């Protein structure tokens, strides 16, 4: 599948932002870092990458709104479209020289995500999806969610609340329900990549609470276009910014949801 001109331009923007991240990744001890909250950091690398994305995407589609992790909401003249952007998902990994982070871009039209790109600047994995055209790794490989049907075969991913974030007790109850029934649980620290990996069949499912729209908007489309199901933990259709998320294939999704619900 050849990517559309829209996706190609989004990939170009992600790669442009990633060049600075890849360069700064080799100099992490020299970066200026500030604290947004307890255990919540932002580096000048985040800020520079978001500026690159803002300029590239604004030039690509003048008038579209822009929701970014660092600069927040900027309303555009076109009220039907907005970019949802995380310039560096996995900042803590980045600051600890762990090569697992991503540039995340989604385009929303009238409340529906219609195009998405997630790019790891270190592995050079470029995941993209477009509504009605599937989910792809580069232009060569169409992605599908894993076909496993039983929880005892499944490898799941999650996020663990960190310092300053509520819900530690709830998470431990959920982990207790899940971990004794699956082949494994991973916590890699970049929700954008976790969701892309569900779409790619690397993970069989992913759940987390308290994520932001820029963490999940791209992954919502990728998992859906790869044949998976994405809801909140009440089982309702997921919308970016909902309080919780669960993504998995159609067979495992209800089984995982049942066990998470049993955690209370």
Helices 213-225 + 191-199 axis angle, to 10? 0
Map tokens 């916590």 to a residue.
Answer: 187
pLDDT recorded at residue 174: 98
Kindly give, in sequence order, each residue whose CB lies less than 8 Å from that of residue 244, ignoring residues fewer than 6 positions away: 207, 208, 209, 210, 232, 233, 234
pLDDT at 44: 81
> What is the DSSP-derived secondary structure letter of residue 237?
B
> Where does residue 119 rank: exposed (0-12), middle (13-18), buried (19+ CB within 10 A)?
buried
Nearest alpha-carbon partner for 12 in 115, 88, 97, 117: 117
Q: pLDDT of 176-223, one tens digit each?
A: 999 999 999 999 999 999 999 999 999 999 999 999 999 999 999 999
Q: Is the dihedral of CA 156, 159, 161, 167 positive or negative?
A: negative
Task: Quote the radius of gyration of the chain (alpha carbons, Å).
Answer: 18
Stretches in the chain below the pLDDT threshold 70: 32, 34-42
Give the bridge partners for 112, in sequence order: 109
- Model pLDDT, residue 42: 63
Q: How many degrees, rounded to 5, is the angle at CA 129 between CA 251 and CA 48?
A: 125
Q: Which of 72, 91, 92, 96 is nearest to 82 (CA)?
A: 72
Hey, which bits of the chain come out as E strands?
33-37, 40-43, 64-68, 72-74, 78-89, 102-109, 112-119, 126-130, 134-137, 141-142, 155-158, 184-186, 205-209, 229-231, 244-248
Six-digit token string for 186:
């991973």
Phi, psi of 228 (to 5 degrees): -95, -175
Is this model's pTM higher than 0.85 or not? yes
* Cα 160 from Cα 162, distance rounded (Å): 6
CB atoms within 10 A of CB 217: 28
Q: How far apart are CA 62 and CA 75, in angstroms?
A: 11
Contacts of 221 (CB under 8 A, 6+ apart): 106, 113, 114, 115, 116, 129, 130, 131, 135
Predicted confidence at residue 27, as pLDDT, reads 80
Neighbours of 32 (CB within 10 A): 9
DSSP designation for 7 = H
pLDDT for 162 = 85
Looking from the CA of 98 toward its CB, the CA atoms found within 13 Å total: 13
Rounded (to 5) percent helix, strand, coil in the chain: 35, 30, 35
Burial (0-12, 13-18, 19+ Cβ within 10 Å), 255: middle
Number of residues that this document lists for the chain = 264
């Amino acid at each position: 599948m050849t990517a559309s001109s829209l996706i190609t331009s989004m990939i170009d923007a992600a790669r442009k932002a990633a060049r600075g991240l890849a360069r700064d990744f080799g100099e992490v001890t020299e970066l200026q870092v500030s604290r947004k909250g307890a255990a919540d950091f932002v580096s000048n690398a985040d800020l520079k990458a978001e500026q690159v994305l803002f300029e590239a995407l604004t030039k690509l589609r003048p008038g579209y709104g822009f929701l970014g992790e660092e600069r927040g909401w900027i309303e555009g003249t076109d009220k039907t479209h907005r970019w949802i952007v995380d310039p560096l998902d996995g900042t803590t990994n980045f600051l600890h020289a762990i090569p697992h982070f991503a540039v995340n871009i989604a385009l929303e039209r009238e409340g529906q995500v219609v195009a998405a790109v997630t790019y790891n600047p270190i592995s050079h994995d470029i995941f993209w999806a477009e509504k009605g055209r599937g989910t792809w790794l580069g232009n060569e490989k169409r992605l599908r969610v894993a076909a496993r049907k039983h929880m005892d075969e499944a490898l799941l991913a999650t996020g663990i609340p960190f310092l300053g974030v509520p819900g530690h007790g709830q998470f431990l109850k959920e982990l207790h329900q899940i971990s004794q029934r699956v082949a494994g649980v991973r916590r890699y620290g970049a929700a954008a990549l976790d969701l892309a990996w569900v779409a790619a069949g690397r993970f069989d499912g992913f759940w987390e609470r308290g994520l932001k729209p820029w963490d999940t908007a791209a992954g919502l489309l990728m998992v859906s276009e790869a044949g998976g199901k994405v809801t909140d933990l009440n089982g309702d259709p997921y919308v970016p910014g909902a309080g919780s998320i669960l993504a998995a294939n159609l067979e495992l999704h209800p089984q995982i949801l049942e066990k998470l619900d049993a955690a209370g």
